[in-house]
Amino acid sequence: MTVNSAETLEPVIDPANRISFLLDWELTMKCNLDCDYCAIGIYGGHDNSTRHPLLSECIKTIEFMYKYVDLYMSNKINGLKYVILNVYGGESLHHPDIVKILKISKEKYLDYKSKWHLTVTTTTNGIISNKKFDSIIPFIDEFTFSYHSQNTLKQKEQFKRNILSAKNYGARVKCVVLKHPKYFKDTINFIEWCEKNNVKYLPRQLDNIEDKKELNYSEKQIMWFDNLYKLKNSTEIKNLKKFSDDNKINLTGVGRACCGGRSFFINKNYKNKTNYVQNNNFEGWSCSVNHFFVYIKQVNGEIYTNKDCKVNFNNEVGPIGNLNNTEELLNFTKKFLESDSMPFIQCVKKLCLCGICSPKAKNLPLLKDIIKKYTKKDT
């Protein structure tokens, strides 16, 4: 695997898909599903051996997250003072105190309302009882539903029902369609359902980090992805009905699109944008991921720059702080943001996944140059 040959990568500034600061809050590790591409364990996608965190612990985390992001917002230009609180898991909507947690999240934000805009969202598998889901809807601004092909028919109907309930209530709704190679036709059928019901959707390749052969894509499936990114939102459904399984390929190291559907500029070529970054290896690059993300593992208190990246300011994979001592991280962040030496990370990973949309460059001077448009002052 070779390092990306480009010099800079940055997201397109698009009012329809704002560049925001993502507070990624992994509220609980418990989940009601067990998909074959979701790793089990404390550092996997779910772990049912853990407990749901206590409400009192969650309230303290909300207070910390808002203090932390407020420091970064103080250094952003006005057009970028947008924050997204993503409450997920595991499956966060199964937390027994989820309604209280969401309500308190809204209340605690009132102290910052005049300084930056907050969107409360959740990434959910949507398999929640009607009564509980309907009680949650009023506290969520935007739902990101993850479509899993391995669900039962009954679960898929529950999923669709909850999508339409949120949509009819007036919440913003988006479906991330996880394109499982084995169930590719099923994902196409679901995309057709989204189109018929005017539901926004985003097809996404699976991150096959462990190189599981069953998660590799056929040549015709890859051609489908290629058409998708070339034609933006065109799905070319009719051409995919007759695909065959041959020449399996792991797409993870070939390239990647943004999880949120953002487009990119490469090498400051602002006249041409791309929806797919080929060769997502930026090892050795300087990156501003900490200026646009923070990831909280509530179950053990660890705080990271990003959920997939996890690179800290010592150029290592590891946390930048812990919920047991948030003042230390707040003081560190405040010190650097008020100085002329803003903190960045240097990538030590072979693959860039979530966080690929963060402005990055082959060296620090290049990054400092392109980051100027995002901040109040020179860095």
Contacts of 47 (CB under 8 A, 6+ apart): 29, 30, 40, 41, 90, 299
Q: What tokens were used for 347?
A: 């990538």
Residues of the chain with pLDDT > 70, as a percent, come to 94
331-367 tens-digit pLDDT: 999 998 888 677 899 999 999 999 999 999 999 999 9
pTM: predicted TM-score of the whole model, two decimal places: 0.90
Measured CA to CA, the distance from residue 207 to residue 303 in angstroms comes to 22
* DSSP type of residue 298: T
145-168 tens-digit pLDDT: 999 999 999 999 999 999 999 999
221-265 tens-digit pLDDT: 888 888 887 765 444 444 444 444 456 788 888 888 898 888 999
Weakest-pLDDT range from 17-31, 111-125, 203-217, 309-323: 203-217
What's the CATH class of domain 19-258+288-343?
Answer: alpha beta
Number of Cα atoms under 13 Å in the Cβ half of residue 95: 29
